[in-house]
Amino acid sequence: MADMNQQDIAEYLAEAHVAHMVTIRPNGRPQVAPVWFLEDDGKAFVMADANAMKVRNIRRNPAVTLSIATDQRPLKYAVLNGNAKLFEGDIAPMLERIL
């Protein structure tokens, strides 16, 4: 694994990545789902359909964990923990950065 300082982490997170997001199911068990991840102004954004299980889980319990990792050596990764907020505004600017 490559050691990263704060600047390395910030630069890594500034790129679009596929991340794994963990949410909590109604029965308390974790649910893991791959999501497009993008960091913008210190906030982590992921995209999901409004009816997706991960979104329903967040509506019940906003606690989430994101794991963002490369698939190349040396491995680079970051793990983010926090509470999700659902955003239903215009995502076109985010889509342009990801695509």
**Predicted local confidence at residue 67, as pLDDT:** 93
- Does 22 reside within a domain? yes
Distance, in Å, from the CA atom of 80 to the CA atom of 68, rounded to the nearest integer, reads 8
Tens of pLDDT, residue by residue over 20-60, are: 999 999 999 999 999 988 887 778 888 888 899 999 999 99
Tens of pLDDT, residue by residue over 54-76, are: 999 999 999 999 998 877 787 77
What distance lies between CA 34 and its chain's CA centroid? 9
Distance, in Å, from the CA atom of 7 to the CA atom of 32, rounded to the nearest integer, reads 28
H helices of 14-52, in order, are none
Residue 53's closest CA among 80, 77, 78, 22?
22
- Does 95 reside within a domain? no
Distance, in Å, from the CA atom of 87 to the CA atom of 89, rounded to the nearest integer, reads 6
pTM: 0.77
Question: Which CATH number covers residue 41?
Answer: 2.30.110.10
- Does 74 reside within a domain? yes
- Does 32 reside within a domain? yes
